[in-house]
Amino acid sequence: MSATRPLSVLILCLWFSMASRTLEAYNLLGVLPDIVSRDMDLLPMRFYKLLGGAGPSKTFDMMPLEEPTPSTSYINSRMLEQAKAEKVLRKHLATYGCHVGKELCSFEQNTGHVVVHLVKRIGDQEIAENVVCRWLVGTDGAKGKFVFGEIIVKNLTRDAVGAIPDGMLDECWHCWGDFGSKIFTVLGDVGLEKIHEDYDTLVQTVKEISNRQDLIFGEIKFKSNYSPNVRVVNKFSEGRVFVAGDAAHVHSPTGSQDAVCSDLNEKYYHGLIGVNCQLNLGWKLALVELGFASESLLSTYTEERLPVISHMLKETTTLLHSTRSVKTNGGDVSHGWKRTRDLKMLGVNYRWSSILFDERHPQQTSGKEKQLLDAYGTDTSGGLHAGDRAQDAPGLALVEADKISGETTSLFRIFSSTRHAVLVLSSNGDQIAAVLELANKLPPRFVRTVVVLPRDSAPLPATSGADVVCIDQDGYGYMGYGAGTEGTAVAVVRPDGVVGALVAGATGLEAYFKNVFSNIKA
C-alpha cells in the first residue's frame, strides 16, 4: 500500500457521515466495533439569526433518527473524524502486513503484470523503488485533478465564536448565512467557509456574515478555495489497473454517500475511499488472482458500480442545488438541508448484473437486453431480488451436535467479506442434503453453508454437513428472504453483502456458481 505523500501530513479535523450501507460494509470487514467506539450520532443543524447572530433561528435534524429493525441493524447514519477512521483502518491493514509511507510516482502496464515506480522520502533523501505486481488498484483520491473536499480552517478556537456558550459546539452544526449568498459553519475547532486569499479577508468575511465585530480569531493552519466538482470516469478499469473511490468519481459534499479516509498534505487531497466500491472489486479480484475465476469476472466491477455512481452523482448534485437555493430570510432554511432515506443507500442494488441468478424473478436475469433498474432502489418493488442488499435477521438459535446450544446469532454476524454465504431456508431434509452436497464441492475458503430451520423446528441429521445450523426463532430470516415454512428457499449472499442468487434448490445454486467460479466444475 503506498501513500501519495509522506506521513508528515497536516491532519485536519474533518468530519464525515457514514451511511447505513457503509456501516454494514465495515461490519463485513470486521472493523465496525472499532469504528462505533469512536463515532457519534449525526448532529442537528442550528441556524442563527443574522443582524447579530447571537440567537438561533431554527434547529433541525438533517435526517431524523429511526429505530433499528430486524432487517436493518445499522439504520442511522453516524459521524466520525476522518483521522480517527484512518487510524482504525491502518491498524487493521497492518495486521496483514500492509503499510503506508511510499509515494506512487508512475506505472506501466505490460502483458501479465504492472511495473509500479515508488519513492520513499526520509528527510531530504529520496529512495526509489520499482515493484512488479499483477494488479494495481488506485484509491488515492482526486489528487487535485478532481478536487474534492470542504473548505477547512483549523484552529478556529471557541474564542472565535464569541458569545456562543461552552458546550454548544458539541451539540450542533452552527451556521450563519445561506448558500444563496454566503455561509459560515462551525463544528468544534473547525470552520467551513469559502475562503478568500488572505487572513484579513477571512476575518472580515466572517464578521460580515455574522454581524459580530467582537469575534476573535487565532492562527489559521490551512485554507483552500473550494468549488463543487462532479465527475465520474467512463469505466473503472483499464487492463490490470483499477480505480475506486474518488480516483473514479467525485461529488459535491451535500450527499455524504460514503466514508472519507483522507490525509491532507498542504494542497493535496487524498479524497474519498468508497468502501462499497472496494468490497465489490476485492472479492472478485481475489478469486481471479487465486485461480478460482476467469478474468472476465472483473468486468462486472464497472458493470455493477458505474450505474450506482452515476445515480449518486445526480442525487448529490440535486441536493447541492437545493441547499444553495435556500434563503435564510426568505423561507424555511431547513428545506434545503434535510436528507431523504434514500441517502442511507439501503436500496442500492445491482439487479441488472450479468452474474446474478434469480429464479423468483427470471425476467430480471434472462435475455440479452435486461432493463437497467433504479440503482438506488427508489422505484423498485416486489420483495427481495438478486442484486439487492442482504438483510439481517437476529435471534437465530445455534444448533450444535443436533442440539440447540442456547447461543444465538444473527445473519450479519455470519456474513463475511471473504466468503459467499449459502443460506438454505428449509425443513426438508432431502432438499437440504442436495444443496449441501453441491455447495461442499466448492472451495471452502470462499463458501460458507448456513442452514436456517423454521421456528419450532427440531434439528435434522441432514444438516450435519453445514458450516452453521440455526433455528429462526423469531421468523425474521424467513420473512426477510421470502421463504415459506414449507418447501426450500436458497439465497446466496456475496462477500460484499449483496444477494447474488435467489433459487429453489441445488440446480439454481449450480447455475449461479458456474457464473462466478468459472474455473470450477460443480
- Write the CATH number for 520: 3.40.30.120
Which range marks the domain in which residue 467 is found? 349-522
Residues 366 and 508 in one domain: yes
Q: How confident is the model at residue 149 (pLDDT cuts 50, 70, 90)?
A: very low
Which helix (H) or strand (E) segment holds residue 47: the answer is strand 45-48
Spatial distance between the Cα atoms of 183 and 213, rounded to a whole number of angstroms: 16
Q: Would you say 401 and 428 are in contact if contact means Cβ atoms under 8 Å apart?
A: no
CATH number, position 273: 3.50.50.60
Closest CA to 396 of 505, 291, 326, 476: 476
Q: Which of 42-46, 164-168, 264-268, 315-319 has the lowest mean pLDDT?
A: 264-268
SS3 for 191? strand
Tell me what the mean pLDDT of segment 255-272 comes to.
Answer: 33
Closest CA to 492 of 379, 384, 339, 340: 384
Using the predicted structure, report yes or no on whether residue 435 has a pLDDT greater than 80.
yes
CA–CA distances in Å: residue 88 to residues 26, 34, 39, 149, 413: 11, 7, 12, 21, 20
Spatial distance between the Cα atoms of 433 and 323, rounded to a whole number of angstroms: 56
Closest CA to 303 of 372, 361, 368: 372
Q: Would you say 85 and 25 are in contact if contact means Cβ atoms under 8 Å apart?
A: no
Tell me what the mean pLDDT of segment 190-203 comes to.
Answer: 58
Q: How confident is the model at residue 177 (pLDDT cuts 50, 70, 90)?
A: low
Angle, in degrees to the nearest 10, between helices 275-289 and 20-29: 30
Residues 320 and 416 in one domain: no
CA–CA distances in Å: residue 247 to residues 146, 152, 242, 278: 8, 21, 9, 12
Q: Identify the bridge partners of residue 72 per DSSP, sorted by sequence position.
A: 69
Residues 264 and 408 in one domain: no
Q: How confident is the model at residue 54 (pLDDT cuts 50, 70, 90)?
A: low
Residues 482 and 498 in one domain: yes
482, part of any domain:
yes
Residue type, 434: A
CA–CA distances in Å: residue 67 to residues 43, 352, 481: 17, 31, 21
pTM: predicted TM-score of the whole model, two decimal places: 0.79
Count of the separate structural domains present in the chain: 2
Q: Would you say 471 and 455 are in contact if contact means Cβ atoms under 8 Å apart?
A: yes
135, part of any domain:
no
- For 449, phi then psi, to 5°, come to -95, 135
Residues 430 and 373 in one domain: yes
Spatial distance between the Cα atoms of 259 and 265, rounded to a whole number of angstroms: 19
From 290, 323, 348, the end of a domain falls on: 348
Residue type, 33: P
Residues 308 and 320 in one domain: yes
Residues 283 and 428 in one domain: no
- For 233, phi then psi, to 5°, come to -75, 160
From 348, 363, 389, the end of a domain falls on: 348
DSSP string, 354-389: TT-EESSSTTTS-SSS-----TT-SS--SS--TTSB
Closest CA to 466 of 447, 445, 485: 447
Residues 392 and 410 in one domain: yes
Strands of 363-495, DSSP E:
396-400, 403-409, 420-426, 447-453, 468-472, 488-493
Percent of the chain with pLDDT over 70: 67
Q: How confident is the model at residue 376 (pLDDT cuts 50, 70, 90)?
A: confident
Spatial distance between the Cα atoms of 479 and 498, rounded to a whole number of angstroms: 17
Spatial distance between the Cα atoms of 201 and 168, rounded to a whole number of angstroms: 26
SS3 for 307? helix
Percent of the chain with pLDDT over 90: 39
Spatial distance between the Cα atoms of 175 and 11, rounded to a whole number of angstroms: 23
From 287, 316, 348, the end of a domain falls on: 348
Which helix (H) or strand (E) segment holds residue 183: the answer is strand 183-187
For 223, the grid coordinates are 485554507
